[in-house]
Each structure stands twice: as structure tokens, then as C-alpha cells.
Amino acid sequence: MTTDPHTHDTHTGPAFPDPVPRIPLVWGPADYDSVSEQISEITEKPQPYWWWPAFLITSSLLCGGVLAATYLISTGVGVWGSNVPVAWAFDITNFVFWIGIGHAGTLISAILFLFRQKWRTSINRFSEAMTIFAVICAFIYPGIHVGRFWYVWFSIPLPNANHIWQNFRSPLLWDFFAISTYFTISFIFWYIGLLPDLGTLRDRAKSRARQMIFGFLSLGWRGSTRHWRHYEVAYLMLAGLSTPLVLSVHSVVSFDFATSLIPGWHTTIFPPYFVAGAIFGGFAMVLQCMIPARAVYKLENVVTIKHIDVMCKFILATGTLVGYAYCMELFIAWFSGNPYEWQTFKNRAFDGDYTWAYWVMMTCNLFIPQVFWIRWCRQTPWFVLIIVTFVNVGMWYERFVIIVQSLHHDFLPGSWGQFHPTWVDWLQMIGDFGLFFTFTLLFIRLLPMVAMAEVKGVLPMANPHYPFKPDAEYLKGEDGQYPTEDHAMAAAHGVPSRPSTEVKPHTEAIPAFIPTPGGSGKPWGAVAEFANGTQLLEAAKAALAAGYKHLDAWTPFYVHGMKEAIGRTRSRLPLWTLAGALTGLTTAATLQFYLMAYYYPTIVGGKEYRSWEAFVPVLFEMTILFAGFFTLFALIGLCGLPKFFHPLDSHPTFGRSTQGGFFLTIEAQDAKFSPDETRAFLESLGGKHVAVMEA
């Protein structure tokens, strides 16, 4: 084992004054078991009384959407208000709106992860789920907006009967690649994040059905450190892939507009401006759903006021960025001296038919969020709920203004027109909200809406260096006062639990040798339970030092330094990610250049056959897509999952490894293993519930 001078066990942090202690991310005396229980119970207990009425409402709205879509498909796009010149209206507005909603989920799960913003753990699961539902909502529109949804396959890269392939230089095709990649990677990321929690639900399951379902879905995750070491790296890789992906998706959406020459659409700031707007709107939607959910499920200790406060700051920052983009557009429209550009913006902002919509957008997105400079406004949930409603409205109007206003007044006064939505437009739009909230309600019921394993990892008790002070001094500064009101508020929830020093006793004595159903009679290995991560870490190191090699530690979350303690090094999984990236890049390059320049050479927009620029979006998306798939399969392969049965399953307390238990195992294949000596050795390390398992 290499001794890196910076591993955690050699940490001897100096003690400088700490006048502003960091506020823990989970408030009150939560521990591993209470977190498991608090979150899992939401899915285990009967649904609360309001759930069915809420579900009935959202699913009725959804039915309305289905009705509208059916009517559209059976009759034709004429049932919508879209016309010439406003050929894109509610459909694409809603499409962009929903795609944008998804972006906060990825920002929280990926970008904040890369920045080690650990407060994200309380909200990332919920917002990632929202991402997936929002992308589904968005996907409906490319599917139905031409009215002939049986031609949707045209957007899949397959040739038609005349050997003509898709136009790879078209932003609409990039959209297809971007959104399907985004959906896939978000889903993979979400699912990988869910694995440990699905294991928790399985181990807590009282009914056979739940045990089977979650056992199947969790792929047999048991919290092995050999798995964690790949898992953590895979998670990092996916975060690294998702970060540029989320920037690319809304950039590609912005290309739908910005590559054309319509005044009001064609401007270079569109890509980052759309991304900022998407994150802005997405955060608003996260709060819109999270604030009520947090209140009804009493999650105030997990999703604290500080979480809401920080998200409001994000809304303020991104709202101001979006405002910056509005101002840049307006300024450059004037500064450019281009009369068409200025005509559009003058009409938009000052004297047109849609000026009211422009100022709704400006008010909701730029002006109203400025209240978040004030602390009270950020920390009062009901008030935040009102403000984020404005933001959601404003972001919808932003897309409406960009799309409808720019189209209704283009170069030729003779072709100017207006847009009037029909009842089908409205029904479709409302139906989409029905779809979104139906999915959200189902998700809350069926799956853990907070990432339990990640939250356990950020509890004060999980941090071996957490400076536990005497209870009376908790969160107080050097002068014995709370440095800020936030500190006082957090302290009012109670003092955090210290790590338990005793293993939770089992009701019955554990036999020394535990048979496995259908076992071979030979021992699989020995197992011992420890009270906390630090004890387990010490025990693992002692076992390694004693010459044992086939060690494994089983923990509810990844304990830092554990992989070194069981004698493992950093996972080589990134090489698989890199291989996937290169495969994707090569595939996309071959596909596009071959098809567009040789197989069926096509001139688009007066560009050369071989011009590379327009191929970049698909090159990028396929690189990410393949890298993501390779990461997923590498994780599953390197961990040897799925593993539905394991000798350890027969141990009476081992199920706690996904909740609050810490286990060390030494396998029989170890040269030093002997059932009696190893068991005695584990007991000498302070292990409890020690047993030898049958293979």
C-alpha cells in the first residue's frame, strides 16, 4: 500500500479559532438509522390522506393532455393556433420550458458535486427525478408537433427508402441527439445514485413483494467497499460527463433559434443565456415542488431553511445573469446599427403587440427575484413559494417572447401576423403539467426522495474530524454567542448525535457458524459488526496489518480511507469512461462525415461537404452518450453485479449494512484464514455479532 501523506488517517488538523462554525447540513440529532427510517417510511407507510385527491387532479389534467394530443393527431396541426408566420408557438415554447426545467436537476447532481457543495445531497435525488420527468414532458412536443407522430422515426438516424439520411447539419437533428443523450445520461446517473438506497429499501422490506422488487432493482447492492471504490469514481465520471452535457443540451436547443437569421433569434449569446435561464427556471421548479413536499413530510431537518436560502441565492444569481443577457440583446440590437434587429427589439420591448409579454418576462425574471438580496425573503418558505411561481411564469413567457414575438414581425411587413392559442393549445400545455406532477407524485410514493446514503455521508457523525463541542457550546463562536441568526436557528433543532460506540445488540445470540441455504458446507468467510466507521477503519487496518488480504468492509455510505484500509487502490474505471468517449467520438465522426460527404453528399446552407462545424454537436453528444454507457457497464461489470444472493444474507444483522451498520469480512480464500482463529481475531478487534458464514 502506498502511503500518501494526505490520507485521512494522518490528518492532524491545527486548531485555529473557529469564530463561524459551519452549520451542519442535517439539523437536529439525526443518525444513520433515523435518516434511513425518516426517508424510507415515506414510501412504506400508507399514503397520506391528500395523496389520492392530488393524484386524481394531476392525472385528470394528464388525461386532458392525452385527449388534446389524440385530437391533434387524428385531425392535424390546424387545431392549434400556430399559423404562418407564427409557425412555432405553444408547442416549442412548452418544449423549451420543460427542457429548461430539467437543468437544475443536473446542475445540483453534477456541477455542485464537482464543486463539493455537499448541501446538494438533501435535494439532488428529488431534482434529478424532476429532470427525468421534465425531459419526458418536453419529448412529447417533437413527437406530436407535426401532427403525424408515426413519422417520428424520421429523426432517428436511419435512411429512408431512397437512401437519404437525416441532415446532420440541422439543429433539429442535434436536438434529437442532445435530448436523448441527456435523458439517457440523467437516467443512468439517477439510477446509479439510487442503488444504495434501493438496497436500504430492500433490507427494510417487511413484505416479500417489496423485498423482491427492491432486491431486483438494487442489483444486490450491499455496501461493499470493493463496490464503493468503483461506485464513487463512476459517480465522479458521470458528474464530469453531465456537466458539459447540461451546458450542451440547452445550447443545442438555443441553436434551433440562433442558427437561423430571424432578428431576435440570431445572436451569439444564446447558448449560455439559455443555459443560465434553464438553471434559473429549474431551481424555481425544484423549490416549487420541494417546499410543499418538505412541509407535508416533515423534512425540515433534512431540507433545511439553509437549503432554501442557498437555492434562492442561485435563483438570484442566474436570474441576474439572464437579465444580463436580456440587456446585452437589447443593447447590441441597438449598437449593431442593424435596422431589422432593432425593429424587432423595439417592437418587443416598447411598442409591439407582445410588449406586455416582454415586461411580464422582465418583471418575473429580472426584477422580482432581486428580493432575494434580503435574507428574510430567502428564508420564509411561503414567500419563496410565491416568488418562484413568478419565476416559473416568467420563464415560460421568456420562451413565448423569444419564439412568438420574433416570428410575428420579421423582415417583410406584408407577412406580419399574430398568434392566438386555441383550446387545444391550452389543454395540451395543462396536460403536460399534469404529466409532470403525476410522475412527481408517483415518485414521492414509490422511491426515496432524498438520497439517504449521501445524506448519511454528510452527517457530523460521519466525519471523523468533526469538532464536537460540549452541547451548550454547539454552533457558538469563540465569544459564546451564535455568530449569525442561521446558527441559532440550526441549534434550535438540537445537537447532532455523536457516533455510537456500541453495536446495536441483536435480540438473540448469533451462532458461531451460520449455514447458507443450499450451502456447500465449506466456510465462505468470517464477518464482524462494528459500531461506527472509525472503528471499522481501525479494524480493517489492523486486519491488513495482521496479514489478511481478502478483506472487505460493508458500510451504508462510503467511508473515506476505507478502500486503502482494505488494501485496495483507486479504481481504474476512468479508463473505461475514456474508452467509451473515444468510441463515441469515432462513431459519430465516421457516421457524419461518411454519410454527409461521401455516401449521399448533401449541400446545406451553402456549406462545404466536409465542413466540420455543424458536426460538432452530434460529435459531442455521442461522445458523452457512449462514455456514460461504458461507465455504467464498467461499474456493473467491475462490481460483479447483479448479485442477488450472497452468503452474508443469512447473517441476522447484516441487513443493517445498508442502514446504519458497519461490517468487516475476511474471506475463506485468504491464506491466513482459519474459522476459529479468524473469528477470535475479529472479536479481539472489538467486532460484535461475529460469525463464520457457509459458502
Partner 1 sequence: MSSASIPNDDPPLTYPAGLPDSVAPVGDALAGSVRVLVAVVLGTGLVLVVGLFANPKQFYHSYLFGYVFALDIALGALFWTMIHHVADAGWSVGLRRVFENINRAILPLAVLFIPVLIGTFTGNLHAWYNFVHAPEPTEDHLKHLWHVKHVYFSTPFFLARLAVYFAVWIGYSVAMRKWSVQQDAVGGIALTRKMQWWAPSGVALLGLTSTFFAFDILMSLQYSWFSTIFGVYFWAGGIRGSLATCVLVVLALRAAGFLRNTITMEHLHDVAKIMFGFTVFWAYIAFAQYFLIWYGNVPEETQFYLLRRNGSWYALSILLPILYFVVPFFLLLPRANKRSPFWLALISAWILVMHAYDLYWQVMPVLHQDAVHFHWLDVAAPVCMFGVVLLSAVWGFMKLPLIPIRDARLNETIGYENETP
* Binding positions for partner 1, rule: CB under 8 A: 6, 8, 11-20, 22, 114, 116, 229, 232-233, 235-236, 244, 247, 251, 255, 258-261, 266-272, 320, 324-325, 328-329, 332, 334-339, 373, 477, 483, 558, 560, 570-571, 605-606, 613-614, 616
Is the CB of 336 or the CB of 684 nearer to partner 1? Answer: 336
Alpha carbon 338 to its chain's center: 42
Please report how close the Cβ of residue 42 comes to partner 1 at its closest, in angstroms.
29
Residue carrying C-alpha cell 482459519: 674
Kindly give the pairing relationship between strand 662-667 and strand 513-514.
unpaired
Which of 438-466 are b and which e, b meaning 16 or more Cβ less than 10 Å from the residue's Cβ? bbbbebbeebbbbbbbbbbbbbbbbbbee
Residues, the chain: 695
Is the CB of 318 or the CB of 678 nearer to partner 1? Answer: 318
Closest CA to 314 of 98, 107, 487: 107
Please report how close the Cβ of residue 425 comes to partner 1 at its closest, in angstroms.
30
Is the CB of 229 or the CB of 456 nearer to partner 1? Answer: 229
First to last CA, the chain: 29
Please report how close the Cβ of residue 530 comes to partner 1 at its closest, in angstroms.
22
Q: Extract the C-alpha cell encoding 572.
A: 481504474
Q: What is d(CA 234, CA 228) in angstroms, rounded to the nearest whole number? A: 9
| Type and span of the H or E element at 185 | helix 171-204
Please report how close the Cβ of residue 439 comes to partner 1 at its closest, in angstroms.
31
Is the CB of 89 or the CB of 249 nearer to partner 1? Answer: 249
Residue carrying C-alpha cell 395543462: 430
Q: Where are the alpha helices (DSSP H) in 546-648?
A: 562-565, 573-593, 616-639
Please report how close the Cβ of residue 182 comes to partner 1 at its closest, in angstroms.
16
Please report how close the Cβ of residue 261 comes to partner 1 at its closest, in angstroms.
6
Is the CB of 289 or the CB of 537 nearer to partner 1? Answer: 537
Q: Extract the C-alpha cell encoding 425.
A: 393549445
Please report how close the Cβ of residue 462 comes to partner 1 at its closest, in angstroms.
13
Is the CB of 6 or the CB of 45 nearer to partner 1? Answer: 6
Please report how close the Cβ of residue 656 comes to partner 1 at its closest, in angstroms.
24
Q: What is d(CA 142, CA 139) in angstroms, rounded to the nearest whole number? A: 6
Q: What is d(CA 13, CA 15) in angstroms, rounded to the nearest whole number? A: 6
Considering only CA atoms, give the Rg of the chain. 28
Q: What is d(CA 150, CA 621) in angstroms, rounded to the nearest whole number? A: 25
Closest CA to 313 of 378, 253, 365: 378
Is the CB of 40 or the CB of 304 nearer to partner 1? Answer: 304
Is the CB of 294 or the CB of 306 nearer to partner 1? Answer: 306
Kindly give the pairing relationship between strand 523-530 and strand 662-667.
antiparallel
Angle of helix 225-258 relative to helix 270-296, nearest 10 degrees? 130
Please report how close the Cβ of residue 496 comes to partner 1 at its closest, in angstroms.
18
Q: What is d(CA 307, CA 460) in angstroms, rounded to the nearest whole number? A: 17
- Name the burial class of residue 391, with classes exposed (0-12), middle (13-18) and buried (19+) by CB atoms within 10 angstroms of its CB: buried
Please report how close the Cβ of residue 644 comes to partner 1 at its closest, in angstroms.
26
Is the CB of 325 or the CB of 461 nearer to partner 1? Answer: 325
Is the CB of 216 or the CB of 331 nearer to partner 1? Answer: 331
Is the CB of 241 or the CB of 526 nearer to partner 1? Answer: 241
Please report how close the Cβ of residue 236 comes to partner 1 at its closest, in angstroms.
6
